[in-house]
A = this chain, B = another copy of it.
Amino acid sequence: MTELKNNLLLKALRKEKVERPPVWMMRQAGRYLPDYIKLREKYDFFTRVQTPELATEITLQPVHQIGVDAAIIFSDILVIPQAMGVQVLMEEGKGPSLPNTIKTQKDIDALNTSNVDEHLKYVFDALALTKKELNGAVPLIGFAGAPWTIFCYMIEGKGSKTWDKAKQFAYTETNLAHQLLQKITTITIEYLTTQLQSGADCVQVFDSWAGSLSPEDFKTFAQPYLLQITDAVKDSGPVILFPKGTWYALEDLSKSSASAIGLDWTVSPKQARALTNNNITLQGNFDPAKLLAPIPQIKKWVKEMIDEFGAQNYIANLGHGITPNVPVDNAKAFVEAVKEYKDKKN
């Protein structure tokens, strides 16, 4: 395997000393980049995801154009329901829909959890090709959706503000809910492990809808499955957990076998360090809306953010995916500000 020229991300994940924090951005390969938009006009969503050459091209765009310290494979969290045998439709700009939602024991029994290497071969091929093309420039991140978040889509059938139906299923069909969460967990473990074997240097688990749960429900329906994944995958490579909106779980998760926890901006760096007893690498948490401010202001905020997190055991990132309306120069300014950071303690 080619040695990494820039291994800041992996050093931060191992809590090794770095000259400055690594930086990448959630959704960095995507809708704010003109070259991505050109590809989107030619190929539909699943063609982009399922064609390794296209996924690789999209994955590399922000590495070359924005200068991030890591690539994250272009894919989607809903490839897991697809691999389980559930139809997923993606209408450009409208979000996903799953016409056949899970309702019964029979629905759950019918779900596939095996032959991940076949069903998701295109992801593994894209990782291998991207790894080759990167030629050691920066590490490559793989990812999956967290079981609770995938569960939400499989029950609800589409996005929701409140995830009412998903919660109703969890509250009224609790046994079935846990069966489904376990099936998602099982296939996700296989999926992430194979990603790490195919070229990913680390993986991130996105629990985008975890914050819809109360602390108690998070402990019941989300946390055990996140921990199961982390424990099963950690020997294959470092795991970053990103359970959005769950400040209340930070203490518990800081004691897990995850290498880092991603944060949104509703927790201050200082609070997050306190809640995690300063004993795990933290990632985040710049509000993407702040990328719409003037560039000097962005750079000032980034510096303040790093000052507050500290430059060590820290990965600079956004607190959620970059939005389509961010000017490319502003995204670049975010990355540059991290690269210009001088750690006073060094």
Contact = CB atoms under 8 A, between A and B. Distances in A.
Contact of A171 (B164, B297, B320): B297
Given A167-B290, A167-B292, A171-B289, A268 B214 contact: yes
Contacts of A216: 268
Contacts of A292: 164, 167-168, 171-172
Interface string A205-242: 00000010111110000000000000000000000000
A168 B323 CA distance: 12
Contacts of A112: none
Contact of A266 (B162, B211, B294): B211
A163 B320 CA distance: 13
Contacts of A105: none
Given A171-B293, A292-B171, A294-B172, A267 B215 contact: yes
Contacts of A215: 266-268, 271
A336 interface: no
Interface in A122-155: none
Given A215-B271, A268-B214, A289 B162 contact: yes
Interface string A255-290: 000000000011110010000000000000001111
A30 interface: no
A245 B217 CA distance: 17
A162 B248 contact: no
A247 interface: yes
Interface string A165-198: 0011001100000000000000000000000000
A289 B167 contact: yes
Nearest to A326: B164
Given A172-B294, A215-B267, 4 more contacts: A168-B292, A171-B289, A245-B266, A247-B248
28 contacts: A162-B288, A162-B289, A162-B323, A163-B289, A164-B288, A164-B289, A164-B323, A164-B325, A167-B287, A168-B292, A171-B289, A171-B290, A171-B292, A171-B293, A171-B297, A172-B294, A211-B266, A213-B266, A214-B266, A214-B287, A215-B266, A215-B267, A215-B271, A216-B268, A247-B248, A248-B267, A248-B268, A248-B271
Interface of A: 162-164, 167-168, 171-172, 211, 213-217, 245-248, 265-268, 271, 287-290, 292-294, 297, 320, 323, 325
